[in-house]
Amino acid sequence: MLPVIEEFTPTVRTSDGEAIPTARVKGIEDPGEFYEPASGAFPDNWRRTVIVGARVADENDIEVGDRVSVRVVGEFDRSFRVAAVLEPRGFTDPLTADQTVFVPLAQFEDSEYDQAIVRVDPQTGSVEEAERRLDAEFNGRENRIAVFPVQERREQVERSFETINQFLIAVGGISLLVAAVTIANTMLMSTIEREGEIGVFRAVGYPRGAVVRLLVTEATILGIVGAAVGAPLALGIGLVANEILVGDPLAFTATGLRYVGIGVGFGVATALVAGLYPAWKAANKRPVEALD
């Protein structure tokens, strides 16, 4: 069992005296039980140093060896050297490490534990069994503790993202439909305005297939131009979202990048399909009618 003391309203400042309003302060006994450092190392004798989460470090340009001052009302007001910066952990981390400055548990002299993290050995038990035993041990006539399995929190986050993804897919589908109608309308207007040109092509011996290929190519070029604008725009929005949510603008997954590629392919294919009817209609018009 790993005890944790959590402070939501501390004062954390960089060596320049600049306050870090979003940083939380948590006392922990052994950070190496759960985390790996991205830089620096966890000291064997952890007394007067702190460990900084990835987002706090990135947003405030904090590096290993820098000093930060931490003040917790009623506990301590001291300057600490940064011993390590953690790897990014994301939303499912039980201690929200990305936004946290971890100090040695011994700095909290008179505080009680706010929470404890219980690790379950899968060889000897299960999370569900541990949850039942903790509830039976501490919650009798009244609820004294609340048990939150990390897996349950992760599943909640995954369900939330799944809902968001479904919404985005629906928005994308509507956007594709609107784009297809717009391209088809544009191509129809273009063929109407160019009836004389198309009539000349047909009169001098251009086959229907050549006219269809010409107009479909134009529609496809419209789709390629749209994809060339849309893909960088989507990646730019992704960079901003990654920076805001996880503190790393380049935190793209292979699946996410694959979806961008699929979106580009769908966009071009939609333009191609949308151009088929106007091209077919223009190619099948009699040259005499087109030249009138």
pLDDT digits over 95-139, tens only? 788 889 998 888 887 667 777 777 777 777 777 777 778 777 777
Backbone conformation region of residue 90, classed left if phi is above 0, alpha if psi is from -120 to 50, else beta: left
Q: ∠ CA 274-181-183 to the nearest 5 degrees?
A: 55
The whole-number average pLDDT for the span 44-65 is 88
Residue 113 three-state SS: coil
Neighbours of 216 (CB within 10 A): 21
Q: Following DSSP, what letter does each residue of 136-147 receive, concatenated?
A: HHH-SSS-----
Terminal Cα distance for the chain, rounded: 88
- Give the Cα separation of 105 and 6 in Å (integer): 10
pLDDT in tens, 190-228: 777 777 777 777 777 778 888 888 888 888 888 888 888
pTM: 0.55
Q: Following DSSP, what letter does each residue of 179-235 receive, concatenated?
A: HHHHHHHHHHHHHHHTHHHHHHHHHTT--HHHHHHHHHHHHHHHHHHHHHHHHHHHH
